[in-house]
Amino acid sequence: MDPFPKEGESAAGGEPSRGAAPSSGVVVQVREKKGPLRAAIPYMPFPVAVICLFLNTFVPGLGTFVSAFTVLCGARTDLPDRHMCCVFWLNIAAALIQILTAIVMVGWIMSIFWGMDMVILASKYS
């Protein structure tokens, strides 16, 4: 017999302990905090987002580069307090990061996930 009871067992006989405290009924809300680059991903129409995902999959950063121009065409982002040109340049910066780090596969993976985020945002948008 184990000298120390396992979690959820009493010391006598290895049975589950009785009298455990019931759940307190606390509701927890989780909200994702996005950095400025992730918040700059534009809400695009679904077909455009799928094209950007396709481009990002085969040429890292190209879909992100294309999505930057949708900001200039009026696509909204999660950065309402920033000027349109600032959000455009944030997307261009994200595309450059993806292109430059694609050599070590980090940018390619980031590019694919970026495209998936575009599609997810587009599905919420429609």
Quote the pLDDT of residue 5: 53
d(CA 13, CA 103): 59
pTM, to two decimals: 0.72
Mean pLDDT by groups of 10 residues along the chain of 126 residues:
54 54 74 83 94 95 95 89 90 95 92 95 86
- Count of H helices and E strands in the chain? 5, 0
Quote the pLDDT of residue 60: 94
Quote the pLDDT of residue 46: 95
d(CA 49, CA 82): 22
Quote the pLDDT of residue 32: 74
Token pair for 32: 């994702």
